[in-house]
Amino acid sequence: MSDPIRIDLPLTRQKARSLRAGQVVELFGVMYTARDAAHKRLIDLIETGAELPVDLADITIYYVGPSPAAPGAVIGSAGPTSSYRMDPYSPTLIERGQTGMVGKGPRGQKVVDAMCEHGAVYFAAVGGAAALIAQSIKSYEIVAYEDLGAEALARITVEAFPCIVAQDSMGGDLYKQQ
């Protein structure tokens, strides 16, 4: 197996379009955390024309609801959640600039179509390795929806965050490859 590809965030559309399903990558830089409740709030803001709490251009969102941090730790266990729960919201966010998503499990066809049309990529993080993944998270700061607790929209800084390109902007799909 070859060394992981280093991806420095933010993830531009050009970088996203260069990635292919099956590639092992490590992410470095700032990404955001959000789950379905936060995604719904973002869509509600978009639909009403209100200002968003973050700029969606070239953003990567990690689908995670981290556990509380132990004393002295940045974050608790931070394993990926099932991505299909964000499928109703992802096409709209991709159209408005989101280029990266991190979670577990395959995405629906509407999400894949939006990825291909707009140049986005979906990374799979390894489920069951939440404590290991948390070691790659160097900072965690809630930026919106604090009332959602672990599902709040938060900014994280990551170093050598391990994942695999699961579905790419050319329609490549690790879940369908044999």
Report d(CA 138, CA 73) in Å as an integer.
Answer: 9
- Structurally, the chain folds into a number of domains equal to 1
Q: Quick check: 116 pLDDT over 90? A: yes
101 domain residue, yes or no:
yes
Report d(CA 117, CA 19) in Å as an integer.
Answer: 15
Whichever domain contains 18, its CATH number is 3.20.130.10
Say what the pLDDT of residue 55 is.
97
Q: Quick check: 2 pLDDT over 80? A: no
State the pLDDT confidence band at 1, using cuts at 50, 70 and 90. Answer: low
Mean pLDDT of the chain: 95
153 domain residue, yes or no:
yes
174 domain residue, yes or no:
no
Query: Which range marks the domain in which residue 37 is found?
Result: 5-167
How would you classify residue 73: left for phi > 0, otherwise alpha for psi between -120 and 50, otherwise beta? beta
Say what the pLDDT of residue 128 is.
72
Say what the pLDDT of residue 45 is.
98
56 domain residue, yes or no:
yes
Report d(CA 64, CA 86) in Å as an integer.
Answer: 11
* Mean pLDDT, rounded, for 63-67: 92
135 domain residue, yes or no:
yes
Q: Quick check: 178 pLDDT over 60? A: no
The token pair that represents 110 in the structure block: 């509407």
178 domain residue, yes or no:
no
CB 67 within 8 A of CB 77: yes
176 domain residue, yes or no:
no
State the pLDDT confidence band at 30, using cuts at 50, 70 and 90. Answer: very high
Report d(CA 138, CA 59) in Å as an integer.
Answer: 18
What one-character-per-residue DSSP string does the chain give?
A: -PPPEEEESS--HHHHHH--TT-EEEEEEEEEE--HHHHHHHHHHHHHTPPPSS--TT-EEE-B-PPPPPTT-S-S---B-BGGGGTTTHHHHHHTT--EEEEBSPPPHHHHHHHHHHT-EEEEPPTT-HHHHHTTEEEEEEEE-GGGGGGSEEEEEEEEEEEEEEE-TTS-BTTT--
Say what the pLDDT of residue 126 is.
83
